[in-house]
Amino acid sequence: MFTPAAKATAEKLGLTLGHPNLEEFAATLEELARANPNIIAVTSDSRGSGKLGPFGKALPKQLVEVGIAEQNLVGVTAGLAACGKKPFGVSPACFLTARSLEQIKNDVCYSDVPAVLAGISAGVSYGALGSTHHSLHDIATLRAIHNISIVVPADNFETHEAVRAAARAEHPVYLRFGKAPMYTLHKPDARFEIGKAITLREGTDAALIATGETVVHCLLAAAQLAERGIQCRVISMHTVKPLDVDAVLRAGRECRAVITAEEHSVHGGLGEACAAALLRAGVHVPFRIAGIPDEDTVTGAQADIFRHYGLSMEGLTATVTAALSRIGPI
């Protein structure tokens, strides 16, 4: 996932490599479920992919397996939620949010049951498996559906907090996880709240607003740029919906350029959400969206795909440099 240069930069920043957010999700869910028997994991032959094997062994009565049947998974999850349970429907994001989209829209969101849907191995986590297994649409589609929060944690801390917050939520929540080990980006005293962005680094030359597994690459790019005297603000926009519009507008008003980054199609995701927020408020600022373009997506490891589309430290550094060079010298 990280080039030697990126690892060296992370080391300079004092970042420590944690485990995959997916593993943090599973561990947190088990911890919560041990204390609350109403927490139920619903899987579609996905307990292995979801790292829920230990959960199933420890709490067999709190795991519902429906087999390879994602539509049924979401319907069952909704039914459990309607009868007092706190279910987490867990399935690869590519299937969960495409094959079962109507169940998400109607059974969960429209019926307004307190269900949590966890899209695992999201984005291009399954990069080498081809577009059937990529989820580059899920943020866009769910943004257009009323009554669901979309949370894409960047590191183990955000994952832990997001799972806990989702377990408390009274309305539907979509959690999106990748499976690469993640650097821990936050200080121990960091605070997490759904809908509130976290600023990881201050700066006013450019703002990097990112979500999920691209956040770390933005932080690394900011460190690279700082060595050249360019100070970037880095914002972890872990909640894409509801968007922290204030954080976006502050970035647009206080920084000379805004660059968004996401492991998602450039259509309908975080970037376009930020662009719309800026335009609606009349904030005009040089703006770039780093994401997956509307094309036959290149395949390979997640790291290969990130490099290919400029979502790596090196690519994001170049994007910021290019955006600022069009404005003129600092």
Positions that interact with other proteins (CB under 8 A)? 37, 40, 61, 64, 66-67, 69, 71-72, 74-85, 87, 102-103, 106-107, 110-112
Task: CB nearer to other proteins: give 74 or 305.
Answer: 74
Task: CB nearer to other proteins: give 64 or 303.
Answer: 64
DSSP 24-55: HHHHHHHHHHHH-TTEEEEESS-TTTTT-HHH
CB contact set of 17 (below 8 Å; sequence gap of 6+): 10, 181, 182, 183, 184
Q: Is 316 within 8 Å of 289 (Cβ atoms)?
A: no
Question: Which 8-state DSSP code applies to residue 61?
Answer: G
Residue 63 Cα distances to 20, 31, 60, 237, 299, angstroms: 22, 14, 5, 31, 34
How many Cα atoms within 13 Å fall on the side-chain side of residue 250?
A: 13
The two structure tokens encoding residue 262: 């996401």
Closest separation in Å from C-beta 84 to other proteins:
6
What residues does 209 pair with on adjacent strands? 235, 260
